Structure 1
Amino acid sequence: MRLLGVTLAALALSGCAGWGFDSNVSPAGIKEYYKGDAVRLYSKAELEGVNYVTLGSVEGEACQIEANEAPPKEADARAQLRRRAADMGANGVVLDSCIRFNDMPGCLEQVLCSGQAVVVAD
C-alpha cells in the first residue's frame, strides 16, 4: 500500500515536469528594484561630524491613479527616492520630507518624498 502511494505521488509530480512558467519579472527588473537597498536613509543629526559629500536633490513618488487601487504608501515613495539616489552613485539619502497630496494631475492621491543624495565615507 505504501509503495502504491509513493508511486502515485511520483507520477503526479513528474507529470508537471514539462510545464513552463512565464513571468514579467526579469533579472534586470529585479536588480533595478533592489538597487536602492544599498542606500541608507540618514537624519541630519546622524551626519554631524561625519565626512560626506552631497551629490544633489532627489525625489520619489507613489501615486494612486484609479479609485479601485490602494492608496499610495510613503514607503514606496522612499524606495523610489533611494533607487534614484543609487543612480547618482550615492550610498545615503538625507530625507527632507514626505508630503501627501490629493487630486494631483494624473493621481487621485500622491506621496512625494524629497531629500539629498549623499556619499558617506566609510
Structure 2
Amino acid sequence: MRTLSLTFIALTLSGCANWGFDSNVSPAGVKDYYKAGSVTLYSREQLADKNYVTLGSVEGEACQLEANEPPPKEADARNHIRRRAADMGANGLLLDNCMHFDDMPGCIEHVLCSGQALSVAE
C-alpha cells in the first residue's frame, strides 16, 4: 500500500513538471518596486547625532485619475518619494511634508510629499 501511495504522489508531481508561470512583472520592475525599502525615513531629532550629507530635494506623488478609483494614499506618495531618493543614491530621507490637493490638472485628488534625500553614515 505504501509503494502504491508513493507511486501515486510521484506521478502527480511529475504532471506539474512542465507547468510554467507567466507574469507581466519584469525582474527590473520588482527591483524598482522594492528599492524604496533601502531608504529609511528620519525625523530631525533622529538625525541630530548622525553624520549625513543632503543629496538634494525630492518629491513623490499619488494621484486619483478617475472617479471610480480609490482616493490617493499618503503612504503611496511616501513610497514614491523613497524610490526617487533611492534613484539619487540615498539611504535616508527627511520628509518635509505631504499635502493633499483637490481638482489638480489631470487628477481628481492628489497627494504630494516633499523632502530631502540623504546619505547617512552607518
Q: TM-score, normalised by structure 1?
A: 0.86
2:31 partner SS:
helix
2:30 partner SS:
helix
RMSD: 1.9
2:121 maps to 1:121: yes
Q: 1:106 is matched with which residue? A: 106
Task: Give 1:98's aligned amino acid.
Answer: C
Unaligned runs of 5+ in 1: none
After the TM superposition, which residues 71-110 of structure 1 pair with which residues of structure 2 at under 5 Å, given as runs? 71-110=71-110
Over 3 Å counting, the alpha-carbon distance change for 1:2 and 1:55 in structure 2 is: same
Q: CA deviation at 1:16?
A: 5.1
Over 3 Å counting, the alpha-carbon distance change for 1:3 and 1:49 in structure 2 is: closer
Q: TM-score, normalised by structure 2?
A: 0.86
Please list the CA deviations of residues 52-101 of structure 1 after superposition, one character each: whole Å capped at 9, or x if unmatched.
11011000001110111111111111001011101111110000001111
Report the Cα distance in structure 1 between the residues aligned to 2:86 and 2:2, rounded to whole angstroms: 56
